[in-house]
Structure 1
């Protein structure tokens, strides 16, 4: 009798946190380290959301609903192809993370935690992003940090992106893709 091992369920690591916390940088380094495809959640925003944020108006839960569903569906699509992924997403509220967890993958979170002084300073140095520094406080106001019963890890943004990635790989027990995985 021959038994074949069931392939592992693909994993999606959602690099989360407020705007300016370093999600894109950390996600790119993590995806490169693991050999996994990566997506930027900002690319899933409908034009109306981008216009609203560019005008300095915070998004509502209703604004975020189709955006979160699109990210969830991207994770599911990649998982159906057998791909583990890395995606950036603010995922500020547990209810938002619950939508992402509906994907057909093991969805895990890497919460980039830091204070407004450090993150605000980073935002002030960035150019070409539609999210103005004036909306940072609105993100901190709704932020619900990752809870102990959620699958993930919290890291301090004061560390270098490289150290954050090393910590994430260790704490989340992540394994790089192998050529046979593709």
Structure 2
């Protein structure tokens, strides 16, 4: 799941940094949350493919009850009061690869690509899953791949310790301010 806010070019992004610093730990251990990456991008920052200032957290849930619990809860109500009512994108997850050092993520990349009508979805899924495994073997801390059958798109989301080398033009790169993880136990 991901929602995002495009912020004005003159927006003080230190406000987003502070929000992440203070509110990020509040979702640590949230029910059914595999992880939440608190993401931001600054217009024209070196190494980022952003032409806008963005605040766009990405969530991986292990059950629909987690999405409902968050979207129906006080945290989302506060977010919408502060920033407006976002479109929330969701994908059916094809595959997840998570390495042991997820909390060390400092960068993220997200690519959303169209799925051509009448595509062989099983073949696309197999390729995406193999790509996810390979990406983690080559340095990503986590990779999530999935698809949205309402808009026929595929998502590839990765977390990194360093900015991804030579991201494609259709890839959004973000800074990661905090990663919320399940409760230890």
Q: Report which of the two has the higher share of strand.
A: 2
- Calculate the TM-score normalised by the size of structure 2: 0.29
